[in-house]
């Protein structure tokens, strides 16, 4: 994402301007990425499903982010 930022934006982030970086990341995610979620009974079930996905259980293979 950094290569898409202007020099001014980078400087403002470096100076700690409140919320700027978070807002830019939120916008980037909304425009370029997607995610899905499911509701499960508890944390143990969620952890099991996560482990299966990271192991490549989905037809699309292992996730690109946080692959395990």
| pLDDT for the residue numbered 53 | 92
Domain boundaries along the sequence of the chain: 1-34, 35-68
Q: Please write the tens of the pLDDT for every residue from 14-32.
A: 998 888 989 999 998 899 8
Q: For 30-65, what is each residue's pLDDT tens digit?
A: 998 887 899 999 999 999 999 999 999 999 989 887
Residue 42's pLDDT is what?
A: 97
CA distance 17 to 23: 11
Lookup: tokens for 22: 């978070």
- Position 40 scores a pLDDT of 97
Residues whose CB falls within 8 Å of the CB of residue 12, separated by 6 or more in sequence, listed in order: 20
């Amino acid at each position: 994402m950094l290569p898409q930022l202007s020099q001014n934006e980078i400087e403002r982030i470096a100076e700690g301007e409140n919320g700027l970086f978070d807002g830019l990341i939120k916008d980037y995610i909304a425009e370029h990425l997607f995610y899905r979620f499911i509701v499960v009974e508890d944390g143990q079930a969620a952890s099991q499903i996560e482990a299966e996905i990271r192991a490549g259980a989905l037809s699309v293979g292992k996730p690109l982010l946080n692959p395990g």
